[in-house]
Amino acid sequence: MGFELARLIAGQIFLHACMAGMRMAAPLMALREGYSEAAVGVLLALFALTQVFLALPAGRYADRQGVRRPLALSVAVATAGAGAAAAFPIFPVLCLSALMVGGATGVASIALQRHVGRAASGATQLRQVFSWLAIGPALSNFLGPFLAGLLIDHTGFRIAFFAMALLPLATWFWVRRTRELPPVAAPPGARRGAAWDLLAQPQFRRLMLVNWLLSSCWDVHTFVVPVLGHQRGLSASVIGTLLGAFALAATFVRIAMPLLAARLQEWKVITVAMAATALLFVVYPLVPTAWAMGLCSVLLGLALGSVQPMIMSTLHQTTPEHRHGEALGLRLMAINGSSVVMPILFGVAGAAVGVAGVFWSVGALVAGGTRLALRMKPAD
């Protein structure tokens, strides 16, 4: 599975880098054109809006079709979305691009996660493969914003958007020969209920709440750092580097985790990450320099980067195999439903109480949520 997994990770990097770069460049262009923080919040929310409606159908589609068809569709839509922003770099088109690129990335993510989870066997291998797979978004969260920031500073927004449109084409180069796994039939007598039936499981319910809290922290960092950097007069390259430092730290911890998978326990990793994140959210808005902001971004990347492999491993252990795609879709719908609402709230709150208030409010929620993570400890 080693080479196959490497190709899937490579493909994921380029598609996700397209979205990460667009999420940095589009709000920055809107700010420079004089749009308010609230408008930027709406723009960021649109990257998640399509995924809210597509997540469950995409999960069921992946359960039926496998991995290649969803990925081919995602590549086409992401390329068209970023290309539209390059051709017509105006706010309404940026909103359309956000819908298209965000939706495409979500569909691809579900298909890839389902495929990799099914190919793994046992809890330790689940932790390993999801740690490796999580390296993709972490690297792309560096590649996309860093590349976009450099291009914006040296060539302008139009060329930056055009470069983002080319990235998904590399995805198809890597994943086009992926071998499909045999379809999974439902066990005899199993009833296909509504996706919400999965929430009847207490462990799955707690997992969704913890995942929502921690995904909100990613949204806070993505939204607040460009705003805070703009307020402090930092260049696009520096802002992109701050976001990239966060991503590199998340990559580093995810590279280390497969080597330690046999010694890790999901609930312990998640609890420590939540406590560390809450503390860093108190400190971040108080630091005065770009270097100090970079250190906070690195520490946040280490904490939040460790979480997704543990979430995905737990999800695959607590849901039926024939409904993995559906469970992944429900998870993505929940966190992206939050990502639609939260940036708008962040924008309104940032205008009302400042970015420090946004950091501290979310940090308090995460601190309170550590109790949920403690209750995810498996029964002896």
Provide the pLDDT confidence category of residue 283 given band limits of 50, 70 and 90. Answer: very high
Q: pLDDT of 63-83, one tens digit each?
A: 888 889 999 999 999 999 999
Residue 222: its pLDDT value, please? 79
- Cα separation values, 308 from 39, 174, 212, Å: 29, 23, 11
Provide the pLDDT confidence category of residue 297 given band limits of 50, 70 and 90. Answer: very high
Looking at per-residue pLDDT, the higher value among 293 and 44 belongs to 293
Distance from C-alpha of 365 to C-alpha of 357, rounded to nearest angstrom: 12
- The most confident of the ranges 71-80, 240-249, 361-370 is 71-80
Domain extents in the chain: 2-176+202-374
Distance from C-alpha of 360 to C-alpha of 374, rounded to nearest angstrom: 22
CB atoms within 10 A of CB 323: 22
Distance from C-alpha of 68 to C-alpha of 193, rounded to nearest angstrom: 26
- Which two three-digit tokens encode residue 8? 């899937």
The CATH class, in words, for 2-176+202-374 is mainly alpha
- Which two three-digit tokens encode residue 321? 């195999």
Task: Report whether pLDDT(263) > 60.
Answer: yes
Say which residues have a Cβ less than 8 Å from residue 1's Cβ, sequence separation at least 6. 119, 120, 129
Say which residues have a Cβ less than 8 Å from residue 363's Cβ, sequence separation at least 6. 277, 278, 279, 280, 281, 282
Q: pLDDT of 159-215, one tens digit each?
A: 999 999 999 999 999 998 888 887 766 665 555 555 667 777 888 888 888 988 898
Q: pLDDT of 109-160, one tens digit each?
A: 999 999 888 887 777 888 888 888 888 887 888 899 889 999 999 999 999 9
Q: What are phi and psi of 183, to 5 degrees?
A: -65, 155
